[in-house]
Structure 1
Amino acid sequence: MKQLCLFFFFLTLSLQAQFQVNGIVKESATNKPLPFATITTNNGLNTISDVDGKFSIAAPIPFTAFDISYIGFTKARIALEKNKNYYVVVLSQKTDDLNEVVVPSENPALAIIKKAIENKNNNNPQKKLRSFEFKSYNKLIVTANPDSIDGRIDSVFVQKSIGKQFSKIDSSDYKFKDIISKQHLFQTEKVSQYQFANARLKETILGTKMAGFKQPVYEIIAFNLQSFSIYDSSYELFETKYNSPIANDALNDYNYKLLDSLLIDGRNTYMIYFKNKKKRRASGLEGVLYIDQNNFAVAKAVMRIKGVLDISGIHDFKYIPNEKLWFPTDKTFKIVKGKNDDDIKILGGTIQFDGDVEQDFKERKKVASDFTYLLSHTNNFEIQYNTPIQIKKSAIYIEIKDDAINKPEHFWNTYRKDSLDSRSQKTYLALDSISSKKRIESRIRFGRKIINGYLPIGKFDLDLRKLFSYNNYEGFRLGIGGVTNEQFSKKFRIEGYTAYGTKDGNFKYNLGMATRVGKFSNSWIGVSYTDDVREIASSVFTIEKKAFKIYDPRPINISTFYNYVSWKTFIETKIIPKTESFWELSRAKIEPKFNYIYNLNEKLYTSYVMTTAMVSLRWNPFSDYMQTPTGRIEVEKRFPKFTFQYTQSLPKVMQNDFEFSKLDFKTEYEKKYLNGQKTSLLFEAGYALGDVPLTHLYNTSPNNITKETIMQRITFAGKNSFETMFFNEFFSSEYAYFQFKHGFSRVTLFKKVKPSLVLVSRMAWGNLQNPEQHIGLDYKTLNKGYFESGIELNQIYKGLGLGGFYRYGPNQLSKFQDNIAVKISFVLNLGL
């Protein structure tokens, strides 16, 4: 749904104060805009230009002139003219060119920044104060300035083989200008209460409304446009984290320049410009920090990224004398289109950008949508410090009250900083009407379901995973299944499926029902019956929801399955903070569908009964969660994540045949880099103790078929499987598995050939207790370890890719070619 938010930004196209002076600052030599120029009025007001060089000064007190200064440029004074409120200011560069920010041996800015870093804990409200709370009002709009758009009606011509031919009249810009003169194209409002105590910060949303939606898209509300605190070591701007200019190691990443000294809230501050040291485009933050000359706290901050999108975030603070602290009072965020050589495809729509490389790129004519931007402003008020605070449900980062979407108008009039102007008022009326007419909310609901693998049909969601699959035992598996949805009931659900294998000739089916017993924890209790087949020795974490795929390539080559007929009762809940858990009691009759006998104390089993109790738990301690009236959402996914599962057989309960215990563990870690690269680590381990037949041991996910030549063994690659390990080659009662992946940013070889290079290494160790008990299959153990490495070239062309893997180490095969596996990969690009 974050991509949906981005979709709004591009497909929808400045709020002007009634009394203000506007303008733009440009460079004389190139006529390019100058961002972050300082504008100071002759009566003491000051501001800076935005990423486009534009500025706006709201003036409750009249002034007659203003000064504009910029790094390396001659300062200019502009006298106001009668009946003129827009000024184009051109600055000339000084003879000592300061385009490159250089850190000399004695840079005064460095000493100031070092002091700011040393004093962070003394100046950070979340470190210095025991507690605080305040309310905030946020308004977000997607709009455009009508004055920036050429509203003429032009003729449009189409290029033919000989010359051009008149086609039609283009009135799109005219219509667009007419629309945004009356309304914005998207708008949300939010009133929140922030509470901080015991090193925990929680936002409780008291009221929220979103133009065009009776029920807001909660993921958009949780969208993190900019960091709450300027003192965090990582600063977040538009869901991307950057090393902060006042992080402990910031001097390694940034150059600094002392620009000026300014008076803010009656206190003297240093104005320091910072810029990432890397020369390449969009390599990091740049901006301006205003540092208090006395305590070296941040009194104002402007953070900016310029690339495909031009993004800026401004933080304003107020000095609290009693606490000797600068406390945040306002945040402003703006995002506009940047420049990029490539068109960007989002949800089926194409957004074209101007190139920033002059050669071989012809600049296109700007259209109305090029002037669109997003603007968000947050104002904090009713601030209290060091008062006793008890935060309820503190493990939830954001909580939306049940009545937040139904607040009356007098609630909004109470908390709005300014009353809505006519454009904002008309935005709600217009978008609500359009949304209702075009059924936008139902389309979004439909999209949510499809992305998660379901097709909503009335009160039933059809499970797309159940329709079609293939494996070597069942052949083509054709089926149908699904679950009732919220239109059927919010408290009860019925689910099930049936499937038929064309090769084994058998039907499989499942039927279950559950009732919700806890709304906040989303707890359900239910029962189900299943008659189906499962891969031998496969490790399944019950709590993990299987990701939706159009195809699942690995099962295609699996031949060894067992049939299980099971009854189970279960409870699933999120009552433990930052966890999801599944508790199950089941009885299953197991029948291997391959040549296998389990020998236990000289008694031979070809089928058996297992009665077990199981708990499966997924713990995401570093993630942030949002509680909504419809459920809980993981809004900020952070790593590492941990998954635990414990299974215990119940002796002499419902004809149980074996006594055993199984403990399974998995942890995942991902790190994304600013240059588009990503490192992924995965560790899994399992331990089975007691009398466990081969069907319920571990096979460490092999994905290679037994064929003579490399070409005959070419199949689709799995996600985390051993591509060179043959099916049923190894079994373990205890194992440890580690995988390392590093993906590089995509490289353009040709216009439509942009592969992504991924380096992969996998290794596993294991052991099998009592191997003499397992009769029928030939297999080996992993006592000496198993190792493979490979290279993947993914998305070479239209989602297709190719990978090569090599097996080495103690279990390397004698023939060189048998250690090599070539695999096809496929990534389906839905434009999301």
Structure 2
Amino acid sequence: MKQLCVFFFFLTLSLQAQFQVNGIVKESTTNKPLPFATITTTDGINSISDVDGKFSIVTPIPFTAFDVSYIGFTKARITLEKNKNYYVVMLSQKTDDLNEVVVPDENPALAIIRKAIENKDNNNPQKKLYSFEFKSYNKLIVSANPDSIDGRIDSVFVQKSSGDQFSKIDSSEYKFKDIVRQQHLFQTEKVSQYQFANSTLKETILGTKMAGFKQPVYEIIAFNLQSFSIYDSRYELFETKYNSPIANDALKDYNYKLLDSLIIDGRNTYMIYFKNKKKRRASGLEGVLYIDQNNFAVAKAVMRIKGVLDISGIHNFKYIPSEKLWFPTDKTFKIVKGKNDDDIKILGGTIQFDGDVENDFKERKKTASDFTYLLSQTNNFEIQYNIPIQIKKSAVTIEIKDDAINKPEAFWDTYRKDSLDSRSKKTYQALDSISIKKRIESRLRFGRKIINGYLPIGKFDLDLRKLFSYNNYEGFRLGIGGTTNERFSKNFRVEGYTAYGTKDNDFKYNLGIAARVGKFTNSWIGVSYTDDLREIASTVFAIDKKPFKIYDPRPINISTFYNYVTWKTFIETKIIPKTESLWELSRTAVEPQFNYIFNLNGKLYPNYVMTTAMVSLRWNPFSDYMQTPTGRIEVEKRFPKFTFQYTQSLPKIWQNDFEFSKIDFKTEYEKKYLNGQKTSLLFEAGYSFGAIPLTHLYNTSPNNITKETIIQRITFSGKNSFETMFFNEFFSSQYAYFQFKHGFSRVTLFKKIKPSLVIVSRVAWGNLQNPEQHIGLDYKTLNKGYFESGIELNQIYKGLGLGGFYRYGPNQLSKFQDNIAVKISFVLNIGL
């Protein structure tokens, strides 16, 4: 009974909270929907229909009638009827057209858009103002309107001759419906200060709270839902970029139509409807721009994508007479389910949409989750223009203050536009309670560690990479290792490992300690000792974080290693903006574990000592970063990315035997397409000069074994390896390598078989100076180039796939079958 009373209490609040009218606008002669028709209530509240002609008016106070207008059609006034909340509005065409713009032989909307593009710099606050500053309040919820959920959703019916008859309540759907009557499914709030000066925009988060989390999930806070500026040439909606409808080249991508004229903030505006010219699904933006008739600035914008998800972003502006400028005042972002045949998870599954099954035989039953939506609303206030502003730590796009997660309720009451309603209050109470009960934060921490290859055990993170591996020299390599975590200390760490090879019967080990010397730059200084093995001539960028793999297939077939015993001291830091760097000073004793001698000026070196200084730096100039109380996060990964490494031997220091230098470079580029395809490019190059043994030159990552038949050579494919190149076939002292990959969208063959097709091409060139210095191995050089192409069919079943590669060009082998490599691929989908 108590639960029933609570249910009716919240239901009553919901009914009292809003007055809603829904409907659709259609053309009377063709019965086709009219997108973006203007709907105006008798109280002066404006709305527009969506791309399907549908509209919804929600107000706290009832109204008696509303007008519907559309350019070229006669305006209609609709009087509300008792107990009716859905209206089909039919508009009739009229012969006279809007006469505000007259351009002979041309669509008037094009003339207006051209003017808007021409005047962009004069109307863009980030171009016209030399500085501005404001605060904003944002609230994001994942919820569902319980009144929109059909009563049949939570009921199970049985089919009888007399028709469907009620059988029972579907407990899972009923529970969902009951929950959303009382609370939202997820909720966050934040208060930010935005500062703009010297062409730099920075967000400083003053306060943030997330239902269910004492410490928010910072990645969700940084999730970019929509562009800050409507004037960006590439408009971003839900972390996907589209050519803007007012980009300099927009007219080649969009069709435009003049819909109506409207008064906003006392100024006359044109309503311009735009739609991408491409016909294929999810091909681009569509929406409405409200263009000021005097200065051709954007006074309001509605941007929308309708496909897998129905995504909309609305930008509102206020006119500032003193600056003759429209400045953004608020924006709204919303996601609802669109046409789709796959489950979609957003924010780690917080919001999920079930797919439609589209066929002629059976229509999928609607579930309550079909009515789930995500809504984000932002309001700007305390706006100041052209004042002296000094932006601190400008290389960081978003900075979260250390005390942002501990703000009292009085802070939030100060900045909220409206006080929290009962559903929002209940959301914090309920989700905080659930989070504690189900240990969500500790499980999230555990999941993050596992994804990065560590198993947290108290104050120690066990490195899962060290447990087990296999190669032809060591056999099975069994080990244990890891590092202390933040529970041990935030300013000190101890790390290490030990491993044993069952084939070489030898132990390997490492031990290192480090201390943090800079919090904001995450700078550490440390020392370490290592006695281990490494593949000969392998290019290792020290700054690269080794990705976690359940298996690492390439070393399985490697037999040529060298033992190295290294003492080193290092500094790792992010002090240079948008970089990570590692600076090392090391002494290494090298002993090749294969038949090899280095001949330098007649002196033979079966083993040797190398004392070197090295700097390894990764630079992501186009990425955006967020500084949190726990560290720095790359929140907007943009390409290209660059990695540099320079190694210099130190003559006559710590028994160093050789004088040499090495310069290594890598750049990566990746482009993801809206339809799920992805193109990636990789370029690597290395240049070494001086006296360098073969162990420290370049082999360009071969991944093929020397066997007679194609079947015998089937192994697992590497990530960026030459699949047809045999181990130890080529060595270089200078090399260049280029790889092209293009992955197509996954194709559903059967319910659980959805392969993805990837085409791959690789090319390399290399040269070896002083080949007479290297004694013991037979090898070739790459001075004529090396070419390989192939096709991968990945994720055929449970992550497993198959690929085929072909070797051609100057280094093609005489037997046709020797140029072919068949590889097994494995892709682990961890839901990221």
- TM-score tier by shorter-chain length is over 0.9
The secondary structure found in structure 2 opposite 1:695 is helix
1:686 and 1:350 map into 2 onto residues whose CA distance is: 45
Mean Cα deviation higher: 455-464 or 85-94: 85-94
Deviation at 1:227, TM superposition (A): 0.4
Deviation at 1:654, TM superposition (A): 1.3
1:623 and 1:80 map into 2 onto residues whose CA distance is: 52
Decide whether aligned partners of structure 1 residues 793 and 346 sit closer, same or farther in structure 2, where only a CA change above 3 A counts. farther
Decide whether aligned partners of structure 1 residues 435 and 91 sit closer, same or farther in structure 2, where only a CA change above 3 A counts. farther
Deviation at 1:823, TM superposition (A): 1.5
Deviation at 1:48, TM superposition (A): 1.8
1:94 is aligned to 94
The secondary structure found in structure 1 opposite 2:795 is strand
Aligned partners of 2:37 and 2:259 also within 8 Å: no
Mean Cα deviation higher: 307-316 or 77-86: 77-86
Decide whether aligned partners of structure 1 residues 174 and 379 sit closer, same or farther in structure 2, where only a CA change above 3 A counts. same
Decide whether aligned partners of structure 1 residues 153 and 161 sit closer, same or farther in structure 2, where only a CA change above 3 A counts. closer
Aligned partners of 1:150 and 1:173 also within 8 Å: no
Mean Cα deviation higher: 443-452 or 80-89: 80-89
1:409 is aligned to 409
Deviation at 1:410, TM superposition (A): 1.3
Decide whether aligned partners of structure 1 residues 577 and 768 sit closer, same or farther in structure 2, where only a CA change above 3 A counts. same
Deviation at 1:830, TM superposition (A): 2.8
The secondary structure found in structure 2 opposite 1:414 is helix
Deviation at 1:167, TM superposition (A): 9.6
The secondary structure found in structure 2 opposite 1:550 is coil
The secondary structure found in structure 2 opposite 1:342 is coil
1:719 and 1:6 map into 2 onto residues whose CA distance is: 57
Deviation at 1:69, TM superposition (A): 3.6
Decide whether aligned partners of structure 1 residues 159 and 103 sit closer, same or farther in structure 2, where only a CA change above 3 A counts. farther
What do residues 169-226 of structure 1 show as CA deviations (whole Å, max 9, x unaligned)? 4233333232222221111111111111111110000111111110000000000000
Aligned partners of 1:526 and 1:571 also within 8 Å: yes
Aligned partners of 2:7 and 2:178 also within 8 Å: no
Aligned partners of 1:254 and 1:276 also within 8 Å: yes
Aligned partners of 2:37 and 2:68 also within 8 Å: yes
2:408 and 2:351 map into 1 onto residues whose CA distance is: 38
1:384 and 1:447 map into 2 onto residues whose CA distance is: 43
Q: Does 1:221 align with 2:242?
A: no
Aligned partners of 1:273 and 1:286 also within 8 Å: yes
2:7 and 2:590 map into 1 onto residues whose CA distance is: 49
Decide whether aligned partners of structure 1 residues 216 and 713 sit closer, same or farther in structure 2, where only a CA change above 3 A counts. same
The secondary structure found in structure 2 opposite 1:11 is helix
Deviation at 1:60, TM superposition (A): 8.5
The secondary structure found in structure 2 opposite 1:127 is helix
Decide whether aligned partners of structure 1 residues 347 and 118 sit closer, same or farther in structure 2, where only a CA change above 3 A counts. closer
Using the size of structure 2 for normalisation, the TM-score is 0.92
2:734 and 2:169 map into 1 onto residues whose CA distance is: 73
Mean Cα deviation higher: 477-486 or 334-343: 334-343
Aligned partners of 2:342 and 2:356 also within 8 Å: no
Aligned partners of 2:610 and 2:649 also within 8 Å: yes
Deviation at 1:268, TM superposition (A): 0.8
What do residues 779-832 of structure 1 show as CA deviations (whole Å, max 9, x unaligned)? 111112111122222222332222222222221222222222121211122343
The secondary structure found in structure 2 opposite 1:14 is helix
Decide whether aligned partners of structure 1 residues 608 and 783 sit closer, same or farther in structure 2, where only a CA change above 3 A counts. same
What do residues 572-592 of structure 1 show as CA deviations (whole Å, max 9, x unaligned)? 111110000001111111100
Mean Cα deviation higher: 630-639 or 347-356: 347-356
What do residues 220-249 of structure 1 show as CA deviations (whole Å, max 9, x unaligned)? 000000000111111111111111111111
1:193 is aligned to 193
What do residues 474-503 of structure 1 show as CA deviations (whole Å, max 9, x unaligned)? 111111111111111111111111111111
Decide whether aligned partners of structure 1 residues 165 and 318 sit closer, same or farther in structure 2, where only a CA change above 3 A counts. closer
What do residues 348-383 of structure 1 show as CA deviations (whole Å, max 9, x unaligned)? 989996877864352233222211111111011111
- The residue correspondences of 1:253-402 to structure 2 (distance < 5 A) are 253-344=253-344, 359-360=359-360, 362-402=362-402
**Number of aligned pairs?**
832
Mean Cα deviation higher: 592-601 or 19-28: 19-28
Aligned partners of 2:136 and 2:192 also within 8 Å: yes
Aligned partners of 1:342 and 1:352 also within 8 Å: no
2:5 and 2:685 map into 1 onto residues whose CA distance is: 38
Decide whether aligned partners of structure 1 residues 726 and 153 sit closer, same or farther in structure 2, where only a CA change above 3 A counts. closer
Using the size of structure 1 for normalisation, the TM-score is 0.92
Deviation at 1:52, TM superposition (A): 7.7
What do residues 256-302 of structure 1 show as CA deviations (whole Å, max 9, x unaligned)? 11100111111111101111111122111111111111111111000
2:752 and 2:830 map into 1 onto residues whose CA distance is: 17
What do residues 537-590 of structure 1 show as CA deviations (whole Å, max 9, x unaligned)? 000000000111111111111110001111111111111100000011111111
What do residues 644-700 of structure 1 show as CA deviations (whole Å, max 9, x unaligned)? 011111111111111111111111111122222222111111111111111001111
The secondary structure found in structure 2 opposite 1:418 is coil
Decide whether aligned partners of structure 1 residues 786 and 104 sit closer, same or farther in structure 2, where only a CA change above 3 A counts. farther
Mean Cα deviation higher: 175-184 or 489-498: 175-184
Deviation at 1:80, TM superposition (A): 3.9
Deviation at 1:7, TM superposition (A): 27
1:804 and 1:715 map into 2 onto residues whose CA distance is: 11
Aligned partners of 2:738 and 2:763 also within 8 Å: yes
Deviation at 1:439, TM superposition (A): 0.8
Decide whether aligned partners of structure 1 residues 689 and 548 sit closer, same or farther in structure 2, where only a CA change above 3 A counts. same
Mean Cα deviation higher: 71-80 or 252-261: 71-80
Deviation at 1:328, TM superposition (A): 0.7
Decide whether aligned partners of structure 1 residues 336 and 467 sit closer, same or farther in structure 2, where only a CA change above 3 A counts. same
Aligned partners of 1:101 and 1:275 also within 8 Å: no
The secondary structure found in structure 1 opposite 2:362 is coil
The secondary structure found in structure 2 opposite 1:12 is helix
Decide whether aligned partners of structure 1 residues 181 and 356 sit closer, same or farther in structure 2, where only a CA change above 3 A counts. closer
Aligned partners of 2:343 and 2:355 also within 8 Å: no
Decide whether aligned partners of structure 1 residues 745 and 668 sit closer, same or farther in structure 2, where only a CA change above 3 A counts. same
Aligned partners of 2:101 and 2:108 also within 8 Å: no
Deviation at 1:736, TM superposition (A): 1.0
RMSD: 5.1
Deviation at 1:85, TM superposition (A): 7.0
2:5 and 2:650 map into 1 onto residues whose CA distance is: 50
The secondary structure found in structure 2 opposite 1:426 is helix
Structure 1 unmatched runs, 5+: none
Aligned partners of 2:70 and 2:260 also within 8 Å: no
Decide whether aligned partners of structure 1 residues 56 and 579 sit closer, same or farther in structure 2, where only a CA change above 3 A counts. same
Aligned partners of 2:20 and 2:59 also within 8 Å: yes
2:254 and 2:54 map into 1 onto residues whose CA distance is: 25
Deviation at 1:326, TM superposition (A): 0.8
The secondary structure found in structure 1 opposite 2:350 is strand
2:161 and 2:102 map into 1 onto residues whose CA distance is: 54
Decide whether aligned partners of structure 1 residues 413 and 54 sit closer, same or farther in structure 2, where only a CA change above 3 A counts. farther
The secondary structure found in structure 1 opposite 2:374 is strand
1:17 is aligned to 17
Decide whether aligned partners of structure 1 residues 63 and 146 sit closer, same or farther in structure 2, where only a CA change above 3 A counts. closer
2:562 and 2:806 map into 1 onto residues whose CA distance is: 31
Deviation at 1:313, TM superposition (A): 0.2
2:150 is aligned to 150
1:291 and 1:238 map into 2 onto residues whose CA distance is: 24
Aligned partners of 1:103 and 1:255 also within 8 Å: no
Decide whether aligned partners of structure 1 residues 58 and 345 sit closer, same or farther in structure 2, where only a CA change above 3 A counts. closer
2:568 and 2:437 map into 1 onto residues whose CA distance is: 46
Decide whether aligned partners of structure 1 residues 160 and 59 sit closer, same or farther in structure 2, where only a CA change above 3 A counts. closer
Deviation at 1:311, TM superposition (A): 0.6
Decide whether aligned partners of structure 1 residues 587 and 104 sit closer, same or farther in structure 2, where only a CA change above 3 A counts. farther
Mean Cα deviation higher: 392-401 or 242-251: 242-251
Decide whether aligned partners of structure 1 residues 351 and 65 sit closer, same or farther in structure 2, where only a CA change above 3 A counts. closer
2:592 is aligned to 592
Mean Cα deviation higher: 138-147 or 668-677: 668-677
Decide whether aligned partners of structure 1 residues 8 and 53 sit closer, same or farther in structure 2, where only a CA change above 3 A counts. farther
Mean Cα deviation higher: 41-50 or 26-35: 26-35
The secondary structure found in structure 1 opposite 2:116 is helix
Mean Cα deviation higher: 13-22 or 586-595: 13-22
2:284 and 2:197 map into 1 onto residues whose CA distance is: 32
Mean Cα deviation higher: 83-92 or 337-346: 83-92
User: Percent identity at matched positions?
Assistant: 91
Decide whether aligned partners of structure 1 residues 262 and 154 sit closer, same or farther in structure 2, where only a CA change above 3 A counts. closer
Decide whether aligned partners of structure 1 residues 391 and 153 sit closer, same or farther in structure 2, where only a CA change above 3 A counts. closer
Mean Cα deviation higher: 37-46 or 167-176: 167-176
Aligned partners of 2:11 and 2:181 also within 8 Å: no
What do residues 126-158 of structure 1 show as CA deviations (whole Å, max 9, x unaligned)? 111111111111111111112112457966489
